[in-house]
Structure 1
Amino acid sequence: MSQTKPNILVIMVDQLAPAFLPVHGFDLVKAPNISKLAARGVVFDSAYCNSPLCSPSRAVFMSGQLPSRSGVYDNAAEFRADIPTWAHYLRREGYQTILSGKMHFCGPDQLHGFEDRLTTDIYPADYGWTPDWDHPEDRPSWYHNMSSVMDAGLCVRTNQLDFDDEVVFAAERALYDHVRSPDKRPFCLVASLTHPHDPYAITEEFWNLYRDDEIPLPSHVVPAGELDAHSKRLRHVCDMDNAEITEQQIRNARRAYFGAISYVDSNVGKLLKTLEATGLADDTIVVFTGDHGEMLGERGMWYKMSWFEGSARVPLIISAPGRYQPRRVAASVSLVDILPTLIDMANPQAAAALSGVDGRSLLPHCRGEGGHDEVIGEYLAEGAIAPVMMIRRGAFKFVHSPDDPDQLYDLSNDPEELANLADDPAHAEVLEDFRREAAERWNLVDIDAAVRESQRRRRVVDAALTSGKLNPWDFQPFKDASKQYMRNSIDLDDLEAMARYPRVRP
């Protein structure tokens, strides 16, 4: 099969820190299918999210807009229906756009340009998880706590396994439907899994791929009193200071997390095998990425929500044999670049005409023609009391928040981010350049006010909508059973012939 515009399969995972993948040097984890994809693709060694939390990160991924522009500040901020996504742009270019799995869209619009959505979401679409910067001392019940670590281990079944098994089955069926359908438009299909996101629980099949005695403990644990101000707040938000975590519980959590990565990898293998079986592999670009990382006990921290590497880095592989030669990219890029990249794959002229986006195409990197080396990050959600902004360029990462001391790290010499250089006289000029850039880039007073006002509005609306009759926004998948399997509306022989692949008769 061959066509001018390539098919695109996006495989998205949740909370996968690339530092725990063999493709990035962590050989303990067994992920042969991701490694196979990387071996024939372009691997980005320094890819980041632009906001280390599910919903804002995914809104950036879809829209190419940073949170301060889109207004998707946190896990309960509405993603407005009038913001174009790459699904809208690709539909204009003649693509069938399909979503299977998680995207954490908040608000009434649960499609955002997708023509077909095959599953519901695993997370709620309402305003119930709205943070409250006016009362940072309060801990709502929906915040993370340490039960994910304390209860980590083996399971037979979980909510997340139910979800991801459905996601992959629906995505596989969509690929089979594509080759059996008379609709020959190219497709962009997203299969978005919720693993290896906590809770850290996995089945025996994947748990037993690892042994307790080979699970490494976190390499650096920073005493709580020596943590930066934002990390201290995150410990409060996640109730870490009130939890007694044992070494065995840490090993259990990491072992289950590694098992969940292997579970993800097995599903990547299923999707790649389906591309091969349907003859779509040669005409399909595969993009593998995630929404944010996972600290997994490093620095004494868990989950995400900070700009440290474990939390902010994401996997990113673009595999298109015959289009882009396998290579590694050292330059720093981010999820905000995905929208212009996908449009560039479909129509370079349309990509060149884009406006109102904050990202840049990654295709120069894929072709070995250079490309940008810059990441802009904005964190405007729980655990913060003011905007927490980040700039990554070259060797340096700069983190700035009006209420906190600045942080400056030289990642080329200090990949563990153990030495904050903000007070180092030798780096005073570098620091001042970043401070000047931040002042020019962001009006933090206005952004802070906009975030707080949004939170206040949403809390009023949520209190009202949860009183009386509930009319949820959660996506309800529709299936027309009258057109599935054997029905008298279609001649039996014709139906069987249409459903069989490869075809045995016209």
Structure 2
Amino acid sequence: MKRRVFIRAAVFSCIALLTAAPASLFAATGAGRRPNVLFLISDDLTCALSGYGRRQCETPHIDQLASRGVQFDHAYTMNPVCGPARAAIMSGLSPWTTGVMGNYYNKGGQDTLRRKVRNLVTLPQFLRQEGYHTARVSKIYHMGIPGEILEGTAHADDKKSWDVAENVKALEQHTPGVSEDLSPAMKHQGVDFIRVEADGDDTLHADRMAADKAIAMMPELAKSEKPFFLGVGLVRPHVPLVAPKRFFKPFPFDKMILAPKVENDHDDVPGVALKMKNFPRYGMSVEQQKKALSAYHASVGFMDAQVGRVLKALEKHGLNDNTIVVFMSDHGWNLGEHDCWQKLSLWEDSIRTPLIIVAPGQSVGKRCARIVEHVDLYPTLVELCGYKPPEGLAGQSLVPLLSDPSSAQWNDKAAYTVTYNGSGESLRTDAWHLNLWSDGNEGIELYDVKNDPGEFVNLAKDSAHRETLEGLSNELRARRSKFNGKVPDSKNRKKRK
């Protein structure tokens, strides 16, 4: 064979190898063990973090992690409530597809996620089937907080996902210290704003316990011949807002700056979009709101410290170079924006989340401005681990963006979110944010987020934007149809209070 022909044949052989299923590449090259995955997920964490431009809350360990990989500035949840958000992340499927639209579960069968899709294979289950050791610490799938931390249970966990599953049991709102109920109108456990400046040792707290359990696993994980997927659930800043007293010191409540208020902000907003409004739901005074914000930041600070401890242990045991690290939240959270608090809303602060991915051989210290969805994580991690993602997933791999955050290969231009059992839907693009309530029958919101990032001016009734509204509405409905979704008929649902 002539030299030129030989070289050409060799080049095409390499191209064929590289474009084949990643698993084939590993087998053919005799590459070392597949990468590990450390999956860190916080609970109810909005993007009000130092690394996302909100200097009021410092998160040095999360920021340091971002400096090692790619920070996604526009990552969106599929549903702004814990159960369906986490089901979507771990299944790679829309809430419409799985049927998981709320925080309900079967305590006997633990089958919430698999009730509708019987042959479902979750992300950790997929890796487990391929020879990975999979382990969970604390909240990965839905857990009722604080109830299941008080009990040390995880009723909605998915047993097929794990070789090892560890729960934690802590005192939560009963932790000794200075305690205050900041939401006089709300008494539901897990929703009311209980603030606890805790006395005693850090080990009294759920997130410290979770970090300790994860750290204790690492020596054996480092020795094992198997690669691992280790999921570490951190429950703060989910209420109750409990943290050691020293974490409150940087955030004196009287120095807290509340979200800006705009006169007549609610005049052009559908009533259904205001269910999380302070009055009458929570009834917090201005001082109580500032105390809630202070306690939220303190809880985030404590959670960030545990992230730092886990990452330090990863480095100590020589696992940094061959471990993919993901840090994210299940959904966002309103901190008084539009006078609304907590989750379930469709405004930006409720549906947008932090997302940081550090992967060997990928970009370092980069930020990605592209629109991405949480269902994109499953195919991303599968590809990074050297496998071909299974068919039927709702998202697409973020690997092109990890290589080049502005990659032209990324063709998804919008994020779809659903709330309130399907009656609220959102489509977020680079320039626009559309919210349809009962397919528009209960209200429509259209925001020009380039010029109105605070989403204060609803343009849905502005004739100048009729074409934009129609185009986005059609795209949203196409997404819904793709996921086999059906919006509840507003006439047949209970009248809203």
The TM-score with structure 1 as length reference comes to: 0.76
SS at match of 1:315: strand
SS at match of 1:11: strand
**Conservation of the 8 A alpha-carbon contact between 2:133 and 2:163:** yes
- Which residue number corresponds to residue 26 of structure 2? none
- Which residue number corresponds to residue 220 of structure 1? 261
- Rate the CA distance shift 1:4–1:445 in 2: closer, same or farther, 3 A: closer
Query: 1:31 and 1:408 mapped to 2: Cα distance?
Result: 33
- Which residue number corresponds to residue 201 of structure 1? 242
**Conservation of the 8 A alpha-carbon contact between 1:295 and 1:304:** yes
Residues 269-278 or 154-163, more deviating: 154-163
Structure 1 residue 97 displacement after superposition:
1.1
- Which residue number corresponds to residue 59 of structure 1? 87
In the alignment, is residue 9 of structure 1 matched against residue 38 of structure 2?
A: yes
Structure 1, unmatched stretches of 5+, are 123-138, 456-506
Structure 1 residue 428 displacement after superposition:
1.0
RMSD value over aligned CA atoms? 3.1
Structure 1 residue 51 displacement after superposition:
0.2
Q: Which runs of 4+ in 1 moved over 4 A?
A: 105-109, 139-145, 157-161, 221-225, 443-446, 448-453
Residues 399-408 or 6-15, more deviating: 399-408
Structure 1 residue 159 displacement after superposition:
12
Structure 2 residue aligned with 1:275, among 292, 314, 325? 314
**1:304 counterpart letter in structure 2:** K
**Conservation of the 8 A alpha-carbon contact between 2:36 and 2:228:** yes
- Which residue number corresponds to residue 184 of structure 1? 225
Query: 2:169 and 2:449 mapped to 1: Cα distance?
Result: 36
Structure 1 residue 160 displacement after superposition:
11
In the alignment, is residue 42 of structure 1 matched against residue 81 of structure 2?
A: no
Counting only pairs closer than 5 Å after superposition, residues 141-290 of structure 1 correspond to structure 2 as 142=188, 147-148=192-193, 151-152=194-195, 154-156=197-199, 162-179=205-222, 181=223, 183-220=224-261, 226=267, 227-235=269-277, 240-241=279-280, 243-290=282-329
**2:477 counterpart letter in structure 1:** A
In the alignment, is residue 437 of structure 1 matched against residue 475 of structure 2?
A: yes
SS at match of 1:269: helix
Higher relative CO (CA 8 A, sep ≥ 6), structure 1 or 2?
1
**Conservation of the 8 A alpha-carbon contact between 1:331 and 1:374:** no
**1:74 counterpart letter in structure 2:** G
Structure 1 residue 395 displacement after superposition:
1.1
- Which residue number corresponds to residue 135 of structure 1? none
- Which residue number corresponds to residue 8 of structure 2? none
Structure 1 residue aligned with 2:52, among 24, 33, 47? 24
**1:45 counterpart letter in structure 2:** D
The TM-score with structure 2 as length reference comes to: 0.78
Query: 1:11 and 1:194 mapped to 2: Cα distance?
Result: 11
Structure 1 residue 375 displacement after superposition:
1.0
SS at match of 2:371: strand
- Which residue number corresponds to residue 97 of structure 1? 134
- Which residue number corresponds to residue 496 of structure 1? none
Provide Cα deviations, 1:7-42, integer angstroms capped at 9, x if missing partner: 111110011111x21111112322111111111210
- Which residue number corresponds to residue 367 of structure 1? 403
Identical counterparts, % of pairs: 30
Query: 1:223 and 1:51 mapped to 2: Cα distance?
Result: 28
Provide Cα deviations, 1:400-431, integer angstroms capped at 9, x if missing partner: 12232211112111110111111122211110
**Conservation of the 8 A alpha-carbon contact between 1:378 and 1:387:** yes
Provide Cα deviations, 1:100-120, integer angstroms capped at 9, x if missing partner: 110244867632422211226
- Which residue number corresponds to residue 319 of structure 1? 358
**Conservation of the 8 A alpha-carbon contact between 2:242 and 2:295:** yes
Provide Cα deviations, 1:470-503, integer angstroms capped at 9, x if missing partner: xxxxxxxxxxxxxxxxxxxxxxxxxxxxxxxxxx
Provide Cα deviations, 1:445-480, integer angstroms capped at 9, x if missing partner: 973469999x9xxxxxxxxxxxxxxxxxxxxxxxxx
Counting only pairs closer than 5 Å after superposition, residues 352-391 of structure 1 correspond to structure 2 as 354-368=390-404, 369-370=407-408, 371=410, 372-381=412-421, 387-391=423-427
In the alignment, is residue 85 of structure 1 matched against residue 122 of structure 2?
A: yes
**2:474 counterpart letter in structure 1:** R
**1:232 counterpart letter in structure 2:** L
- Rate the CA distance shift 1:88–1:332 in 2: closer, same or farther, 3 A: same
- Rate the CA distance shift 1:12–1:322 in 2: closer, same or farther, 3 A: same
- Rate the CA distance shift 1:324–1:203 in 2: closer, same or farther, 3 A: same
- Rate the CA distance shift 1:75–1:326 in 2: closer, same or farther, 3 A: same
Structure 1 residue 320 displacement after superposition:
2.7
- Rate the CA distance shift 1:109–1:286 in 2: closer, same or farther, 3 A: closer
Structure 1 residue 216 displacement after superposition:
0.7
SS at match of 1:418: coil
Structure 1 residue 142 displacement after superposition:
4.7
**Conservation of the 8 A alpha-carbon contact between 2:168 and 2:210:** no
In the alignment, is residue 336 of structure 1 matched against residue 375 of structure 2?
A: yes
- Which residue number corresponds to residue 392 of structure 1? 428
SS at match of 2:349: helix
- Which residue number corresponds to residue 474 of structure 1? none
Query: 1:437 and 1:209 mapped to 2: Cα distance?
Result: 45
- Which residue number corresponds to residue 482 of structure 1? none
**1:340 counterpart letter in structure 2:** P
**1:342 counterpart letter in structure 2:** L
Structure 1 residue 240 displacement after superposition:
3.6
**Conservation of the 8 A alpha-carbon contact between 1:102 and 1:121:** no
Structure 1 residue aligned with 2:338, among 299, 313, 327? 299
Provide Cα deviations, 1:156-209, integer angstroms capped at 9, x if missing partner: 379996322221111111112212x4x311111111110011223322110012
Query: 1:96 and 1:451 mapped to 2: Cα distance?
Result: 46
**2:426 counterpart letter in structure 1:** M
**1:400 counterpart letter in structure 2:** L
- Which residue number corresponds to residue 458 of structure 2? 420
Query: 1:158 and 1:428 mapped to 2: Cα distance?
Result: 58
Query: 1:54 and 1:44 mapped to 2: Cα distance?
Result: 20
How many corresponding residue pairs? 421
- Rate the CA distance shift 1:29–1:439 in 2: closer, same or farther, 3 A: closer
- Which residue number corresponds to residue 494 of structure 1? none
Structure 2, unmatched stretches of 5+, are 1-30, 106-111, 144-154, 171-184
SS at match of 2:275: helix
In the alignment, is residue 447 of structure 1 matched against residue 486 of structure 2?
A: yes
SS at match of 1:421: coil
- Rate the CA distance shift 1:378–1:159 in 2: closer, same or farther, 3 A: farther
Query: 2:354 and 2:77 mapped to 1: Cα distance?
Result: 9
Query: 1:100 and 1:55 mapped to 2: Cα distance?
Result: 17
